[in-house]
Structure 1
């Protein structure tokens, strides 16, 4: 197989992500919202009861760094505020009044988004979200770097076997 003729996994994932985010951004503009798609997982997690960056990280599977950056942007836009929590080591995060108003506007959009995902999965004939969840779980068990190392070792052994034949 010629790798130059077939896109890699990362390339395909980035491209699909760009297509999805571009479509989402179009809808936010149509809704007359000054909104960043990266806010969605954080806002949905807060609406579902998350109260700290750690809570959001556990609910979203995004990195703590990405969540912290997004929370800082949300705070700068006046959509969330931080407050002290009991143990003092973390700060709590809550939606502001503007954040609650925005989430109320977005809920219908999010429902439509999940319906669109379902339609996409039906069109392509397999559950894309489940496939991505399974890939994430497999990569959590054994990282991609380790998998590449194993593949290199196997390719080297196969090449040695062909030389011996």
Structure 2
């Protein structure tokens, strides 16, 4: 039986995230892969608003908000009201986040090398295929494609 696109993507994420999570555990780190986009941004800049994190990490604002809340609870981040506009929350690494950073960066390098080895085994590198799919969906969303496909599937009177 052919698996649908969503099923394949979920399975791929399970395979990738499970291995990365295990690599963190093997390195003695209590850390979730979902934290990485936020940590990577904050490793490069001192602080960022939730909106800036979303833009720079390439993930949605609700996803950043949820991730930041979890990371704050674990003592990785500090979150405070913005100096210029109290409605904006400014995020920066906490002491625990700063302390983890060197070990995380070593894990990230190993993960990047593993991703490169996977790409080398594929006819079309997975990273290139994913970037192309994301760009195509940026031009025409999957929701729009579903609506269009649904109209074609309806019988004409």
Return the index of the structure with the highest Cα Rg.
1
What is the rounded CA distance, in whole Å, between the counterparts of 2:153 and 2:49 in structure 1? 45
**Corresponding pairs, count:** 154
SS of alignment partner, residue 51 of structure 1: strand
1:128-160 Cα deviation digits (max 9, x unpaired): 112111111211221112212222334457xx7
What is the RMSD of the two structures over their aligned residues, measured on CA atoms? 1.6
Q: 1:88 aligns with which of 86, 95, 104?
A: 86
Q: Superposition pairs for residues 13-162 of structure 1, below 5 Å?
A: 13-49=9-45, 51-85=48-82, 86-155=84-153
What is the rounded CA distance, in whole Å, between the counterparts of 1:14 and 1:26 in structure 2? 18
With the length of structure 1 as denominator, give the TM-score of the two structures. 0.86
What is the rounded CA distance, in whole Å, between the counterparts of 2:79 and 2:24 in structure 1? 26
SS of alignment partner, residue 62 of structure 1: coil
What is the rounded CA distance, in whole Å, between the counterparts of 1:127 and 1:89 in structure 2? 42
What is the rounded CA distance, in whole Å, between the counterparts of 1:103 and 1:69 in structure 2? 21
What is the rounded CA distance, in whole Å, between the counterparts of 1:26 and 1:68 in structure 2? 25
What is the rounded CA distance, in whole Å, between the counterparts of 2:127 and 2:56 in structure 1? 16
What is the rounded CA distance, in whole Å, between the counterparts of 2:150 and 2:63 in structure 1? 32
What is the rounded CA distance, in whole Å, between the counterparts of 2:144 and 2:96 in structure 1? 45
* Larger relative contact order (Cα-Cα within 8 Å, sequence gap ≥ 6): 2
Alignment correspondent of 1:11: 7
What is the rounded CA distance, in whole Å, between the counterparts of 1:59 and 1:52 in structure 2? 10
